[in-house]
């Protein structure tokens, strides 16, 4: 298993990519923050406020943003590990 120190360069190097993906999905930091707050709001409260659809849409976008960033980092790490093995052997 890799150490956490091996992941730090991937996360730091991908910050511009994560920001670009966030800009595509949210168009503003305010919208990103609003969607994060929808993640923290229980669905029952959103239902009583009449904003359940907006809550679900915000949660959906924030989860997909998180998954996209995670998959990009994992994919790059797997590609570099694969290339390292191919070049060494």
Domain positions in the chain:
12-82
Instruction: Please give the Cα distance from 54 to 59 (Å, whole number).
Output: 9
Average pLDDT, stretch 21-39?
90
pLDDT (tens digit, 9 = 90+) per residue, 39-84? 899 989 999 999 999 999 999 999 999 999 999 988 988 888 888 8
The answer, yes or no, to whether residue 89 has pLDDT greater than 60, is yes
| Whole-number pLDDT of residue 56 | 93
Q: How confident is the model at residue 1 (pLDDT cuts 50, 70, 90)?
A: very low
Average pLDDT, stretch 84-88?
82
Instruction: Please give the Cα distance from 72 to 89 (Å, whole number).
Output: 26
Query: How crowded is residue 58: how many other Cβ atoms within 10 Å of its Cβ?
Result: 22
């Amino acid at each position: 298993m890799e150490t956490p120190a091996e992941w730090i360069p991937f996360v730091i190097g991908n910050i511009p990519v994560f920001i670009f993906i966030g800009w595509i999905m949210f168009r503003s930091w305010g919208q990103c923050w609003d969607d994060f707050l929808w993640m923290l709001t229980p669905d029952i409260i959103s239902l009583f406020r009449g904003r359940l659809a907006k809550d679900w849409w915000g949660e959906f976008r924030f989860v997909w943003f998180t998954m996209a960033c995670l998959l990009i980092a994992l994919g790059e790490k797997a590609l570099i590990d694969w290339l390292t093995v191919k070049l060494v052997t």
